[in-house]
Structure 1
Amino acid sequence: MASTHGSAEQHASHTATSPADTAPDEGVLGRRYRWITIGMSALVLFVAFEAMAVTTVMPVIARELHGTSLYTLAFSGSTAISVVGMVVAGSWCDRRGPSTPLVISVVLFVAGLTIAGLAPNMLVLVAGRLVQGLGGGALTVALYVMVARWYPSRLQPMVFVGFSTAWVIPSLVGPFLAGVVAQTVGWRWIFLGVIVVALLGLLMIRRVLVGIPDERNDDVAWQPSRIVWSVVAASAVLILGFATEFGELLRWITLVVAAVVLAVAVRPLMPRGTLLAARGLPSVLLTRILISGAELAAEVYVPYLLIDRYGLSPAIAGLALTGGAIAWSGGSWVQGKVGSRVSNARWVALGVLSIAVGVAGTTLIAALGLSPWILFGVWIFAGFGMGIALPRLTVLMFGYSNRDDQGFNSSAQAIADAVGAASAVAVAGLVFTSLTAVGGTWPYTAVFAFGTVLTLLALGTATRVGRRR
């Protein structure tokens, strides 16, 4: 396994820009990298705050706007449409560099927040989330490409530590604060208030963007067919999200049709062999699809379970997400600190195992009606595992990339996260809706069990992320 890690790092180091290679002893906060590190972390900070806050209060929003049937679509729709932003941003970054896509993505994100914050009903709120998702998807790819082009492979894990650390403050105060805001001045300020944070983040990174001119590379085509396929993929997930409004039989027919359409649409957006778990980069991306889906499908129902079945307030229920997010940051810090002493492939396997423990444990708690406080502790394993696995999967992706396909592969990785999360949340919504009549905690148990199955599949694909020895 050590040789796998070494070859990946060596390949990644050849793709880094020359400025990144001229100061071998400099850290991510050294003179050369200081402002770009701070600026990117600031952008991650505002996205993190919004994500933690909205996940906490969405049960309250859905109830107030009389749109509980669209609960999962508020998550899956935003994530699904982000695929379009990722594909466009990937080509744009390869042709002109990441600076302009980064600015446009923040503008779109802010526009989506405004629409959602002023929404008179749940359908308009979902529309705002779609615009927000479009900008968020583009932002994700632009940040990945900036890391690939500006940092050598030895610093890349620590950059992702910085990204994870940017989740710490939102993790500590975001869920609780969101609950307090929703209970006092109203949930709308959770969206509108984040706009201020977004604009501050953009001002902080202005110094960096001025120093990063667009890079013309007309040899890279726009590939409009990939954009079309991304729209098809997003549409399939959106239709799947709306299927909760259909009758029982039509609901499951829609699931099958949407799954087939999604598989066909995703193939051109991913390296060959991704859906078949081919060794190397394809398995790296498939593992991300599975663990992203498992974690988010479970996470969006954790506060719902605590509020609906255990009677906890949104502020207290949000603390479960706080614990998981802090553990996520902790896992990222641990893997970054240990560095190359443990291979990337081994870190991925350990991370997926931890996620499986967290999601499976949550399933048992819901099924047996155990104390909600046990769930607070168990969910930490899921967050810790994500913090370990995702940075190393990203480093592996960089190692399988060269400068000409960094944008494509970064886009493919972000698409893997989005497709996995959006489709899993949509399916979870169908499962939950179908079992609502049964009552009790069974709908929640079924959703968490679905997430557990995904983690078990990921344990298999995680064995194929390295190069053949």
Structure 2
Amino acid sequence: MRRSGRPTVFDRSHRLTTAGLLMLITFVAFESMAVATAMPTAVGELDGLAWYGWPFSAFLVASVVGMVLGGDLDDRRGSRIALLAGVSTFAAGLLLAGLSGHMALFVAARAVQGVGAGIIAVSMYVVAGRAYRPELRPKLFAAFSAAWVLPALVGPLLAGLITTHVGWRWVFLGMLPLILLGLALLLPALRRFGASGDGAAPTSARRWWALLAGVGIAALQYAGQRLDLFAVGIAVVGVAALVAGIRPLVPAGAARLRPGLPAVIGARGLLAGAFFGMDALLPLSLTHLHGYGPTAAGIPLTAGALGWAIASQLQGRRPDVARVVLLRLGFLLLAAGLAGTALVVVPALEGWPTYLTWAVAGLGMGLGMPSLSVLLLEQSREERRGADSAAFQIADVTMSAVCVGVVGVLVAAAAAGALTFPTAVLLAVAVLTAPALVGGWLAPRAGAPRGAPASASTLVPVTEPARSRGDRA
């Protein structure tokens, strides 16, 4: 511990918990980002080119179900059981993927990974609320952001080297001992965190609603890849399934950003959707409009990731600043970065402004995402923290999928000759900037309503995990 006596996320009471959380985040993030590099080789060896998109969709749909399962497990059985289930399921998916001899089995393995990843994502938020006092959470979420950025920088390159020199299967199998090590670090510190209550809806009902929402997301993604009457029908069915499935999974008023916790969850969706929609389009724009190669087209995304990490570290150093202030600033920086990215269509500029504009957008995410995480834990009741964390993640995934789907429709329209490609890019920028501006306008609603009780998490003694044998070792 530091001489000042102030607790930190790496002091004696927290270091094993923090290390375990960061390892899990890093390795799950690496697998999520690296799989795109290994996928072409995998589908070629498994003779599954026609199924190319299914491993991604299977992971996404299953992760929504996993988020609901993770929230229910945490609220009913405690974080220890939830993380054991999540990591075990994810590890089983890695093993199945690495040993797959047929594309159908590979797709099934990706679905198993998705369930595990969804449980892990929710459980980490619950652990953050139970094991860390409010003043430590900004720094903890700054560390979370850094753990996501590192795989973004080195994951694709490392996965390419592994695929080339060892084989694509080791992109999955090589993660097994590492992710199990992260779990081993966490479990001793979680012994005192049992079930917190029975506030969630029955698991069976929520599981089926989550599956329906996941099917809706997959349908929208598929519809965005084509431009015909059949795609319109798929999109209508997808929207209906998504709306019907997601309503029981998120707090009432989240879509309207009703003040308090609904606004926190709704704002998470706006922030993620606006950023990841353009994140998917930007490399294609640079390649199509300016002839960039894969490496050069990916550099703006790296700039965005670095901006995200830098801003996240900065907000972690200022726990005294109101989170809604940082959230509003984050939304406005994201809107500025998105709007500035419209310069990619100017031929004379040759795309270079995107290196700066996407870094600005990343700064906005680095301020906004950790602030929303802190606000979630402040406002979520202890007995509902698992379900609320699941809703938080589901809003992220859902809006990201919807916005990427909209971008896909515009690109498909350009490919069919209904629009020029620059026009499609400008329309995408306009569509994605709108939710960022709305979020900036309504950001104060994410603060706790007047008269709201303090979160029960502020009563959790921060020294409790240190009493376990694992932290004394």
Please name the residue that 2:229 is paired with.
Answer: 249
Structure 2 unaligned residues grouped into runs of 5+: 451-473
The 1:388–1:60 alpha-carbon spacing in structure 2 relative to 1, beyond 3 Å, is farther
Q: Please state how far the C-alpha of 1:350 moved relative to its aligned partner.
A: 0.6
1:174 and 2:155 are equivalent in the alignment: yes
1:371 and 2:322 are equivalent in the alignment: no
Q: Please state how far the C-alpha of 1:41 moved relative to its aligned partner.
A: 0.9
Counterpart Cα distance in 2 of 1:41 and 1:445: 38
1:102 and 2:83 are equivalent in the alignment: yes
Counterpart Cα distance in 1 of 2:49 and 2:344: 27
Q: Please state how far the C-alpha of 1:333 moved relative to its aligned partner.
A: 0.8
What's the secondary structure of 1:31's corresponding residue?
A: coil
1:41 and 2:22 are equivalent in the alignment: yes
Contact between 2:220 and 2:234, CA under 8 Å: does it hold in 1?
yes
Counterpart Cα distance in 1 of 2:147 and 2:424: 34
Counterpart Cα distance in 2 of 1:396 and 1:213: 21
Q: 2:385 aligns with which of 406, 412, 415?
A: 406
The residue type equivalent to 1:292 in the other structure is A
Counterpart Cα distance in 2 of 1:191 and 1:315: 24
TM-score, with structure 1 as normaliser: 0.82
The 1:454–1:198 alpha-carbon spacing in structure 2 relative to 1, beyond 3 Å, is same
Please name the residue that 1:136 is paired with.
Answer: 117
The residue type equivalent to 1:435 in the other structure is A
Counterpart Cα distance in 2 of 1:181 and 1:195: 15
What's the secondary structure of 1:286's corresponding residue?
A: helix
Contact between 1:59 and 1:304, CA under 8 Å: does it hold in 2?
no
The residue type equivalent to 1:399 in the other structure is E
Q: Please state how far the C-alpha of 1:218 moved relative to its aligned partner.
A: 5.8
The 1:59–1:367 alpha-carbon spacing in structure 2 relative to 1, beyond 3 Å, is farther
The 1:363–1:99 alpha-carbon spacing in structure 2 relative to 1, beyond 3 Å, is farther
Counterpart Cα distance in 2 of 1:99 and 1:243: 39
1:295 and 2:282 are equivalent in the alignment: no
What's the secondary structure of 2:304's corresponding residue?
A: helix
Q: Please state how far the C-alpha of 1:417 moved relative to its aligned partner.
A: 1.3
Percentage of pairs with the same residue: 36
The 1:468–1:353 alpha-carbon spacing in structure 2 relative to 1, beyond 3 Å, is same
Counterpart Cα distance in 2 of 1:133 and 1:367: 40
Please name the residue that 2:397 is paired with.
Answer: 418
Q: Please state how far the C-alpha of 1:111 moved relative to its aligned partner.
A: 3.6
Deviation per CA, 1:392-450: give whole Å up to 9, x if none: 11211222222111122112111111212223223333332232233755555554443
The residue type equivalent to 1:356 in the other structure is A
Q: 1:226 aligns with which of 189, 202, 206?
A: 206
Deviation per CA, 1:216-239: give whole Å up to 9, x if none: 746766343222211111111112
The 1:457–1:79 alpha-carbon spacing in structure 2 relative to 1, beyond 3 Å, is farther
The 1:415–1:244 alpha-carbon spacing in structure 2 relative to 1, beyond 3 Å, is closer
Contact between 1:76 and 1:423, CA under 8 Å: does it hold in 2?
no
Kindly report which structure 2 residues correspond to 1:311-350, keeping only aligned pairs within 5 A, or say none: 311-340=291-320, 342-350=321-329
Contact between 1:364 and 1:445, CA under 8 Å: does it hold in 2?
no
The residue type equivalent to 2:17 in the other structure is I
Q: Please state how far the C-alpha of 1:460 moved relative to its aligned partner.
A: 3.2
Contact between 2:200 and 2:384, CA under 8 Å: does it hold in 1?
no
Deviation per CA, 1:64-87: give whole Å up to 9, x if none: 97859965x655553343121111
1:235 and 2:215 are equivalent in the alignment: yes
Deviation per CA, 1:304-354: give whole Å up to 9, x if none: 4455665555445443333222221111111110112x2111100111111
Structure 1 unaligned residues grouped into runs of 5+: 1-22
1:394 and 2:373 are equivalent in the alignment: yes
Kindly report which structure 2 residues correspond to 1:32-111, keeping only aligned pairs within 5 A, or say none: 32-54=13-35, 71=53, 75=56, 77-111=58-92
Please name the residue that 2:465 is paired with.
Answer: none
What's the secondary structure of 1:349's corresponding residue?
A: helix
What's the secondary structure of 1:265's corresponding residue?
A: helix
The 1:172–1:81 alpha-carbon spacing in structure 2 relative to 1, beyond 3 Å, is same
Over aligned residues, Cα RMSD in angstroms?
A: 3.4
TM-score, with structure 2 as normaliser: 0.82
The residue type equivalent to 1:42 in the other structure is M
The 1:416–1:57 alpha-carbon spacing in structure 2 relative to 1, beyond 3 Å, is same
Counterpart Cα distance in 1 of 2:249 and 2:17: 29
What's the secondary structure of 1:405's corresponding residue?
A: helix
The residue type equivalent to 1:232 in the other structure is L
Counterpart Cα distance in 2 of 1:394 and 1:24: 26
Q: 2:433 aligns with which of 437, 449, 452?
A: 452
Q: Please state how far the C-alpha of 1:44 moved relative to its aligned partner.
A: 0.8
The residue type equivalent to 2:272 in the other structure is S
Q: Please state how far the C-alpha of 1:123 moved relative to its aligned partner.
A: 7.0
Contact between 1:177 and 1:315, CA under 8 Å: does it hold in 2?
no
Counterpart Cα distance in 1 of 2:358 and 2:38: 18
Please name the residue that 1:361 is paired with.
Answer: 340
Counterpart Cα distance in 2 of 1:370 and 1:84: 44
Counterpart Cα distance in 2 of 1:143 and 1:383: 23
Q: 1:284 aligns with which of 264, 271, 279?
A: 264
Counterpart Cα distance in 2 of 1:126 and 1:451: 31
What's the secondary structure of 1:167's corresponding residue?
A: helix
Kindly report which structure 2 residues correspond to 1:143-162, keeping only aligned pairs within 5 A, or say none: 143-162=124-143
Deviation per CA, 1:173-231: give whole Å up to 9, x if none: 2244345556666665544444454234334434435x446437467663432222111
**Structure 1 stretch displaced more, 366-375 or 317-326:** 366-375
Counterpart Cα distance in 1 of 2:243 and 2:286: 34
Contact between 2:304 and 2:361, CA under 8 Å: does it hold in 1?
yes
The 1:311–1:180 alpha-carbon spacing in structure 2 relative to 1, beyond 3 Å, is farther
Contact between 2:290 and 2:347, CA under 8 Å: does it hold in 1?
no
Q: Please state how far the C-alpha of 1:285 moved relative to its aligned partner.
A: 1.1
Equivalent pairs, count = 444
1:271 and 2:251 are equivalent in the alignment: yes
Structure showing greater relative contact order (alpha-carbon pairs closer than 8 Å, 6 or more residues apart): 1
What's the secondary structure of 2:255's corresponding residue?
A: helix
The 1:231–1:60 alpha-carbon spacing in structure 2 relative to 1, beyond 3 Å, is same
1:380 and 2:359 are equivalent in the alignment: yes
Counterpart Cα distance in 2 of 1:159 and 1:354: 22
Contact between 1:281 and 1:397, CA under 8 Å: does it hold in 2?
yes
